[in-house]
């Protein structure tokens, strides 16, 4: 299911177009993105090991100091579902020392960036 068009419409309707740059999870940061820091990075990407690793490696270095990393489909208990977002994004983010958990709601985890990459 491609939810990007709905997300873009929601951002537009909320008057946030000048504050956001929605991007498909299939794309990696461009050189232009590297010049900017992200205040919020929301990862709802692939659930395989390699896509999750690529999302972590490609995107998290761009999160600004005091910015947020939000990860969807985090299943800490293997009995509940797939593990890659938990094992390949959430755990490495916390273990890096750059991100601290701030919120857990359902399958969504939010972390705050405490130091620049």
Question: Which residues are known catalytic residues?
Answer: 47
User: In sequence order, what are the beta bridge partners of 71?
Assistant: 43, 109
Instruction: Go through 14-26 and write b for each residue having 16 or more CB atoms within 10 A of its CB, e for each that does not.
Output: eeeeeeeeeeebe
Read off the tokens for 111: 């972390």
Give the β-pairing of 99-105 and 108-113. Answer: antiparallel
């Amino acid at each position: 299911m491609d939810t990007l068009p709905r997300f873009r419409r929601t951002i537009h309707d909320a008057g946030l177009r000048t504050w956001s740059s929605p991007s498909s999870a299939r794309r990696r940061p461009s050189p232009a993105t590297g010049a900017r820091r992200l205040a919020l990075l929301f990862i709802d990407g692939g659930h395989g090991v390699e896509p999750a690793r690529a999302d972590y490696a490609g995107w998290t270095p761009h999160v600004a100091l005091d910015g947020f990393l939000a990860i969807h489909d985090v299943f800490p208990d293997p009995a509940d579902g797939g593990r890659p977002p938990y094992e390949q994004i959430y755990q490495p983010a916390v273990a890096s020392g750059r991100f601290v958990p701030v919120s857990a709601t359902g399958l969504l985890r939010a972390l705050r960036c405490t130091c620049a990459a």
